[in-house]
Homo-oligomer: A and B are copies of this chain.
Amino acid sequence: MGKNKALEAIPANLAKKPKSRFEMVKERHRQTYETALSQGKVDLQMQPLCTFVTGTKDYFTSSCCSGRIMLLEKRGDKKLENFFHRKWHRNVLRIELLEGFNEMVLGELWFKLDPFILHIGCENIENANKVLFAMKNAGVKRGGVMVAQDGKFLIELLGTEQMGFPIKLGSKKLVDWKYLEAILPKANKMLSKNYRRIEKLEGEFRKALR
């Protein structure tokens, strides 16, 4: 009796049912995203898509990279032994590349173009399928559902534009500047194509993930 009375005393608008596990996870990812956004840590070319996904009812983004051109220094075989010598999430100028190329490194320096990568979370297989559908329509060929558990589905989406090759070993240049100069416009063009693919994906998400 006393219990029932206590329940009755709660106004209807406050007597919400408790949040589901998914709702809590989504809320946590929303906060992380908003913080990253306010700190300028979300790649510019990914912001419209990620902001849209974060605003939906059924989806969140857990991590993303818009794609980039970089000079990666490898000091060993493991990922932990890699260092960003230079990194650009946009088209690169000749002078920027030249400076990075001329600057001293210890390990093996690679010129790399990486495509976008994006992780989307949702609660069930029906919603995961909507992401796969949009992905296919946008012509995104790489990725898929990586985690498929009750209440927790994670989908990875990957672009395909890429390039990568060693250009320097310590102070020894393996290619000449003329070659890099000829490659840069190609890499910039591929990066732009990669960014157009993100825009297309955003368009498909807006249709499928309402």
Contacts and interface: CB of A to CB of B under 8 A. Distances in A.
Contacts of A125: 125, 148
A51 to B, nearest CB: 24
Contacts of A71: none
A164 B166 contact: no
A41 interface: no
Interface string A65-92: 0000000000000000000000000000
A95 interface: no
Interface in A143-164: 143-149, 155-156, 158, 162-164
Say how many copies of this protein the assembly contains.
Answer: 2
Given A125-B148, A129-B148, A144-B146, 20 more contacts: A111-B165, A125-B125, A128-B148, A129-B149, A132-B145, A132-B146, A132-B147, A142-B142, A142-B156, A142-B158, A143-B143, A144-B144, A144-B155, A145-B145, A148-B148, A162-B164, A163-B165, A165-B165, A174-B179, A175-B179
Interface of A: 111, 125, 128-129, 132, 142-149, 155-156, 158, 162-166, 174-175, 179, 182-183, 186
